[in-house]
Every structure is written in C-alpha cells, then in structure tokens.
Structure 1
C-alpha cells in the first residue's frame, strides 16, 4: 500500500515539529491512506497506476488533502470518543466533502 502523504507533509499540516510522535504519525498515515483508498476505490485508476505508483493530477491532490484532513481528525480524537460524531465508521464531513466526486456509493 502506498501512503498518500509524507511524514513531513503531515507534521507541517499539524504544525508539529517534534519527533517524539513520529511512529504514531507514520502508523496514522498508513491507516488514513488505506481508509481514503477504500473510500475512493472506484476512482483508484485516476491517481494510482497498475504498478502502484502515484499519478500526479487533480485526483491525487484531493486524495492527499482528504488524507491530511483525516489524519488531523485522528490526531485530535485519539481515544474513540469520535464514535458518536462518526457512527459506524463513517468519515468526517470535511474528508467526505473533499473526496465526494471520487466516491462511488455502495448499494446494499
């Protein structure tokens, strides 16, 4: 799995310049990237090629912004208290708004 953002990008986004939480942030980058990829999987070919390399363009910029937004929420709410705000694992509104046109709803 390819991460959509780097540790430096996340630390800049969060305005965090100490290294003591780098391991947590790197794990969160991987988790958030996987979550965003799952959410936009119907449009994966717009930002990831068949070799797993990222394709620069508008879709990847939005995926990166959505990943940063999700990481910021996960950083702010670490202890599970978000379950009432995001029931059933739903994504935060800010993340869904950024990724809206890349998401194909699942019909059950």
Structure 2
C-alpha cells in the first residue's frame, strides 16, 4: 500500500486532535495516495521507490502536498457534495494544479 503522507502530517494539516478519526484517516490517506499516483501516469518512479516508499524529490513533495489537500477534502466532505461536478477520474483543481506537470498520459 502506498502512503505518501503520514497520519501525523494529515492531523497537523487538518488540525485534528485525538485519535477518534485515525482509522478513517488512514483509509483516506491510502485512497488519496493511490489516486495521486494514478493521476501522475508515467512519473511514478519520481514519486515512490520500488517498495512504494516516498522519495526525497521535488516531484514527491508536490505529490505529498496534493495528497494532503485531497485527504482534507475527503475528510471534511465525506459524502462528496463539493466534488459532485467532477467527472470520473478527475481530481479537484487545487490538487491537480500541483501535479499537472507530472502527468504523462498514454495516447492510444
């Protein structure tokens, strides 16, 4: 499983105290990390190593910030009301603006 950010980083970013939401946040971290990696087609090797551990790179820093933003959206809007207008496979603008240059889509 890929976790681009830690539980502690998310809790600091979202200003969450206590451990009541920890399991929920861990699931959101994994889901958001996977979504960010999938969005960055062709740049995975600039973000994580062969063991899916985050790298020390500029690309990974951008992916980590995008992950924090996506986890925050998932946490604060659990039913997705603010993201209903997004099409399948799209991410919110404030997330994609950070990682757009990492996307190398395949043309068939």
Would you call these one fold, judging by a TM-score over 0.5?
Answer: yes
How many corresponding residue pairs?
Answer: 108
Gapped runs of 5+ residues in structure 1? none
User: Would the alpha carbon gap of residues 23 and 51 (structure 1) be closer, same or farther in structure 2, given more than 3 Å must change?
Assistant: closer
SS at match of 2:12: helix
Is residue 88 of structure 2 the alignment partner of residue 88 of structure 1? yes
Q: Which residue of 1 aligns with 2:99?
A: 99
Asked whether the equivalents of residues 62 and 99 of structure 1 are also in contact (C-alpha less than 8 Å), the reply is yes
Greater share of helix: 1
Asked whether the equivalents of residues 46 and 55 of structure 2 are also in contact (C-alpha less than 8 Å), the reply is yes
Which of 71-80 and 1-10 deviates more? 71-80
Gapped runs of 5+ residues in structure 2? none
Q: Which residue of 2 aligns with 1:15?
A: 15
What is the CA–CA distance in structure 1 between the aligned matches of 2:69 and 2:11, rounded to whole Å?
12
TM-score normalized by structure 1? Answer: 0.89
SS at match of 1:90: coil
Instruction: Kindly state the Cα deviation for residue 26 of structure 1 after the two structures are TM-superposed.
Output: 0.5
Residues 51-107 of structure 1: CA deviation (Å, up to 9, x unaligned) = 433220101100100100101111121113245332224100001001111012354
Is residue 34 of structure 2 the alignment partner of residue 34 of structure 1? yes
Q: Which residue of 2 aligns with 1:71?
A: 71
What is the CA–CA distance in structure 1 between the aligned matches of 2:65 and 2:41, rounded to whole Å?
16
TM-score normalized by structure 2? Answer: 0.89
